[in-house]
């Protein structure tokens, strides 16, 4: 915080059911992947209070999301992407996870899982056995994600002045370097057989990239113990 102080009291509520992106669902009981995840509130409303250096900010009706991760080991590399506020489809939201895991000395290919909510319909993205084409970097992403009954392409860019980089300690030892950008620009194209190709864009994305490999040129900030 560099000498600054902050505290908050916030509630995130939503009417939509949680999203468990790992598919098939048996993966939540299987030993791999060792990280499980859930978007407990994939799209909701935030209300409450922020206080930053004595300045109070009342929060009411802000759009937000909440998620939960658990497990015994971080992925070898991962991307977490959430976006809302698409101009042509203001009710839509996107939740996408890309991950590579280590099995012994080898790293798996990228796996993509998530959903795009559009006009009240959840369009499932990726899944086990559907291999995406991914170019994932700390500050940008392009990915083609095959999906049941659809093809999905997404492009993400971030501003170098916005992100924060930190290190996560892994339960099994070692660290992961993580870069999180809370103001990402997202462009997506959705193609479904029999439907016109749909292009959407948003400047209200959150993009996180984490890796065991480190990030040359990026100096992570230390996290306090506990």
Instruction: Check pLDDT > 70 for residue 10.
Output: yes
Instruction: Check pLDDT > 90 for residue 176.
Output: yes
Mean pLDDT for 146-153 is 91
What is the average pLDDT score of the chain? 93
Instruction: Check pLDDT > 60 for residue 159.
Output: yes
Mean pLDDT for 103-131 is 92
Q: Each residue of 70-92: pLDDT tens digit?
A: 999 999 999 999 999 999 899 99
Most distant CA pair in the chain: distance in Å? 57
Shortest CA distance to 184 belongs to which of 161, 165, 167?
Answer: 161
Task: Report the pLDDT value the prediction gives residue 103, as an integer from 0 to 100.
Answer: 83
Task: Report the pLDDT value the prediction gives residue 224, as an integer from 0 to 100.
Answer: 67
**Model confidence band, residue 105 (pLDDT cutoffs 50, 70, 90):** confident
Instruction: Check pLDDT > 80 for residue 162.
Output: no
Is the alpha carbon torsion for 42, 12, 181, 93 positive or negative? positive
Whats the size of the chain, residue-wise? 226
Q: What pTM, to 2 d.p., does this model score?
A: 0.93
Domains along the sequence of the chain with CATH = 34-40+69-211 (2.40.370.10)
- Residue 76 per-residue DSSP state: S
Phi, psi of 172 (to 5 degrees): -95, 5
Instruction: Check pLDDT > 80 for residue 1.
Output: no
Mean pLDDT for 177-204 is 94
Instruction: Check pLDDT > 90 for residue 173.
Output: no
Please write down the HEC assignment for all residues of 3-39: CCCEEEEEEEECCCCCECCCCCHHHHCCCCCCEEEEE
Task: Report the pLDDT value the prediction gives residue 49, as an integer from 0 to 100.
Answer: 97
Task: Report the pLDDT value the prediction gives residue 3, as an integer from 0 to 100.
Answer: 78
Q: Percent of the chain at pLDDT above 70?
A: 98
Task: Report the pLDDT value the prediction gives residue 164, as an integer from 0 to 100.
Answer: 92
Q: Each residue of 14-73: pLDDT tens digit?
A: 999 999 999 889 999 999 899 999 999 999 999 999 999 999 999 999 999 999 999 999
Instruction: Check pLDDT > 80 for residue 225.
Output: no
Shortest CA distance to 220 belongs to which of 185, 187, 184, 180?
Answer: 180
Adjacent-strand bridge partners of 174: none
- Are the CB atoms for 136 and 99 separated by under 8 Å? no
């Amino acid at each position: 915080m560099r000498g600054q102080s902050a505290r908050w009291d916030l509630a995130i509520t939503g009417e939509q059911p949680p999203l468990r992106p790992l598919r098939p669902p048996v993966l939540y009981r299987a030993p791999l992947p060792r990280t499980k995840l859930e978007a407990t509130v994939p799209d909701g409303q935030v209300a409450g209070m922020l206080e930053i250096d004595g300045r109070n900010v009342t929060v009411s009706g802000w759009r937000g999301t909440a998620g939960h991760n658990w497990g015994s080991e971080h992925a070898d590399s991962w991307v977490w992407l959430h976006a809302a506020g698409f101009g042509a489809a203001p009710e839509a939201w996107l939740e996408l996870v890309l991950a590579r895991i280590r099995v012994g000395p080898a790293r798996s290919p990228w796996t993509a899982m998530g959903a795009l909510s559009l006009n009240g319909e959840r369009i499932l993205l990726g899944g086990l056995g559907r291999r995406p084409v991914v170019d994932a970097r700390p500050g940008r992403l392009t990915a083609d994600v095959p999906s049941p009954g659809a093809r999905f392409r997404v492009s993400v860019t971030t501003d170098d002045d916005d992100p924060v980089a930190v290190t996560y300690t892994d339960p099994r030892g070692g660290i992961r370097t993580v870069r999180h950008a809370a103001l990402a620009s997202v462009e997506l194209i959705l193609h479904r057989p029999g439907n016109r190709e749909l292009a959407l864009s948003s400047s209200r994305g959150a993009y996180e990239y984490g890796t065991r490999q480190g990030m040359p040129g990026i100096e992570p900030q230390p996290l306090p113990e506990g």
